[in-house]
Chains A and B, each alone.
Chain A
Amino acid sequence: MRKLLEWLERETGLVSAWARFWAQPLPAGVGWGHIFGALTLLTLVVLILTGGVLMFYYSPTPDQAYASVQYIEHYLPAGQFIRALHYWAARLIVPLLIIHILRVFFWGAYKRPRQMIWVTGVLLLLTVIGYGLTGYALPWDQKAYWGTVVRLKIAEGIPLIGAALATFLRGGEAVGAVTLMRFFVLHVFVLTVIVVILVAWHVLQVRRLGVTPPGVPVSHEGGVSMTQRLHPDHTLRIAVGATLFSVLLVALSLAFPAPLEPRANPMDTAYKPHPDFYVLWLHELVELFPSQVEFIGSFVLPAILVGILLIVPFIERNPERQPRKRVKALAVGTVLLILVVGLNVKGIRALPQPERLSPLERQGQQIFVELKCYSCHGINGGGGPVGPDLGHATERDPKAVRALLRDPTSHNAHTIMPAYQLPQETEDALVAYIVSIGPNSKMPPTPPTEPEKPASHFEENWFVNHKFEVRKDPASCNDCHKPFFCQACHQNRRPSSHDAQWLKFHFGNAAERPEMCASCHAPSYCDSCHRVMRHDTKWTQQHSQKLAQFGEKMKWAGQTMSQLCYHCHTPQSCQGCHTGALPASHKVANFLTDPQVGHGKVALKQGTASCNSCHQPKFCQSCHGLPMPHPEGWDSDHPKVGHKNPALCQKCHNFKDETCQTCHQAAPSSHTEDFRKEHPRRITDSGASCQVCHGRNACMDCHKVPMPHPKDFGESHAKLGAQRGWKGYSGVKRLQAATCANCHDMNYCNQCHQP
């Protein structure tokens, strides 16, 4: 260690410079009054240290700043303490600086040749005020936001440069992300660079010119005896003072953590920011002047004050330091001080007084919190934005308040506020508290919501916009909110989608996003109208059947099925499927019959799956009388069907054309050479099988008479000739030759008729 120090001394000479600094001789009169400069420096060091640590966790963007401060406060070990240290050190450095400046002023320590020490000191005071103004905005709570808005507004009032200055600081038109980043960089970088330069200048000048011996005129300084050294004589005083000061600082920080108001809400215009106590006199100064010349109070007078402070060592050239020999200067200083203190006291008096609540009202306040009234109503800011802010309520009549609590619709027919039927005592207390709320009342502390509200809930117009978020992801709402949370407000106000036509169109929504319905409605809600019905694809295919079954089961005599459907559907909805909206394929002319583009072709080419989306498989059978298209094995089965009912085949196939002959090019095997003679005996099915190939009139083509002979042919065959105009025996002969001779010769007639 020693070797290292020796090396350092050899290379840089820092060790001896360090020793020389602390060995600085001090004049005899330096005592406890001289420790405030050092205490201010210590506080500045504490501020830079704690500020540096806070910077590790702070995020200077509007959407994260507040969350990061909350993170520091609630999640980090010692986070709350460090932030409180920063907060209280920032408040205590101002009185320390003022005591230091007053000490220097009243002891005349600024006089030549130490005038530049004074000037840098005044500049340091301005820097510290700058720190306060910029640091104020960083937590991005209500106070930070609105305080910044108000101050930039005041800055705008400065003539000529005001508007430009405010716009530069804001970084644009409105206080927002750019403003926050500017204030952050000013606070942690720009002002810190300035303060380090000024402090170094200030301290090194004190080191060079020595500490002013108290009470000694400027010209007599040379004769003052140096009886003590900076270390350890004065450093002991500083160390003791610093320890006492630190005890105060730590005690304040532990007892009163830095406040953090609700997150900045640019919409909450009810919020009134109150300035910190040490700048109240500046605000009072602003208030002294009418708004047109507000800049006199906000800029001109403070500027004049700073100007006076800066030039004090140059205008006050009295070489004396004894107070009684410089009455004039002290009088002016004292008057200014009294003015400032007086204005500040006035400002403190003007602050809203803390509420004094009676025991009953205090009880009512508790009930206000327990019933979560604050989630809708604010009290001079804070609270939810749903109901009116109670701090601004015009009516304070207990009777009216009571009536409103019991039945809010009596006051406003469209209100969504729930009615509260409270026990008498509870109601009395709550009414007493609500009546006591005035423009100076404050929101009582409310329990933290658990889990924390997501950032979206603090966005502008969240209450108007939440429906979009709900639509995006209802499941995420249900993570925190209990089922039916929506109904707390929506009991009288249905979602905007639920308009007069809603009932007719809700099915699409319910089918696609059932979770949307579930966010308000119980799962059994659908069944209260629909019973057990579910309109799925199967339902579409079977609806006529199902409806019939269902109606029978429920014994809805007199109520037609269509009436049941018309709860939701219009008569036109049937036509959507049944006539109007036919698929494009069905709109081709001759869809039913055309062999090229007709339904048979479609069904064969594409399969019947697409048909089945509307039609049941049996739909084909209703016309064709057969399963269509022809099932497998049809080739071998079709003679049976065709023989039995050739008409079925003829619906599509024309026997006379090539239909049969494409397969049956040769005559059937039954048609042997003697088939013509034999066929009457071989036909056992009344000719149906013949018709498959020969057509319906196959017999007539040859026989000229219906074959086989009908039952009454014995009596009626005589008329055959007469029908054709053949009369008499010659007629009979003609008929026989033309018709009967195909099978019978004339001997056949003789079996009955005697020639």
Chain B
Amino acid sequence: MEGSMTRREWMVKSLTALLALIYGIPALVMLVVPAFRRQKPPWVKVGNVNDFPAGEPKAVTLSYQRRDGWVIRTVRTTVYVAAKPDGSLKVLSNICTHASCAVRWERERKAFFCPCHAAYFDADGKVMQGPPPRPLPEYPHKVEGGLLYVQLENV
């Protein structure tokens, strides 16, 4: 068939293909590419490193914007920042791994206490007592210019 194609037919077919490409490629790109883009979880500012002296874990309430397509929501969450005497930091979730209640630091027992089923976690988040199956999740953190940032999404 190709052999018998006239120059006109060939022109029409190639121009048609060109038009299909002009309109088709951007449309395909717009549909396909965004679906495969990976969004990096944002770094959320927690505060000045000096605000977290070694000793007791300190609760910080964070509020940041989470993007879901075109929907932007303000999310609030609480983390505990525990500073060790050697200067290293640990940022722990305040959500108990058993029934997702919020734990709180109990100064007297030097432990996180979950009021729902009387569980205790030590300052590193390890389970001391009670039903939780796992230690308190730890968030990745970084210190830049004296400021502490935490990555909350990928726990």
Contact = CB atoms under 8 A, between A and B. Distances in A.
Given A82-B30, A243-B15, A64 B65 contact: no
17 contacts: A56-B31, A70-B70, A231-B9, A232-B8, A232-B9, A232-B12, A233-B8, A235-B12, A236-B8, A236-B11, A239-B11, A239-B19, A240-B15, A243-B15, A246-B23, A473-B63, A475-B61
B145 interface: no
Nearest to A476: B63
Interface residues of A, number: 40
A239 B34 contact: no
A78 B33 CA distance: 10
Contact of B76 (A68, A70, A476): A476
Interface string A44-62: 0010011001001101000
Chain B interface category by residue count: 20 to 34
Interface in A436-494: 451-452, 454-455, 473, 475-476, 479
A250 interface: yes
B118 interface: no
A76 interface: yes
B27 interface: yes
Interface of B: 6, 8-9, 11-12, 15-16, 18-19, 22-24, 26-27, 29-31, 33-34, 61-65, 69-72, 74, 76
A71 B8 contact: no
A242 interface: yes
Interface in A517-565: none
Contacts of A140: none
Nearest to A66: B70
A82 B65 contact: no
Given A239-B16, A473-B76, A59 B63 contact: no
Interface of chain B, main secondary structure? helix
A68 B27 contact: no
Contacts of A46: 23
Interface string A66-82: 01101100011111011
A590 B124 CA distance: 54
A85 interface: yes
A536 to B, nearest CB: 15
A332 B9 CA distance: 42
Contact of B34 (A64, A77, A82): A77
Given A67-B72, A71-B70, A85-B23, A53 B12 contact: no
B23 A476 contact: no
A82 B70 contact: no
Contacts of B8: 232-233, 236
A57 B76 contact: no
Interface of A: 42, 46, 49-50, 53, 56-57, 59, 64, 67-68, 70-71, 75-79, 81-82, 85, 231-233, 235-236, 239-240, 242-243, 246, 250, 451-452, 454-455, 473, 475-476, 479
A77 B71 contact: no
Nearest to B73: A454
The 8 closest A-B pairs by CB, nearest first: A71-B70, A232-B8, A239-B15, A78-B26, A476-B63, A68-B70, A67-B70, A232-B9
B86 to A, nearest CB: 28
Contacts of A242: 15, 19
B79 to A, nearest CB: 13
B70 A77 contact: no
Contacts of B11: 232, 236, 239
B12 A452 contact: no
Contacts of A246: 19, 22-23
A49 B12 CA distance: 21
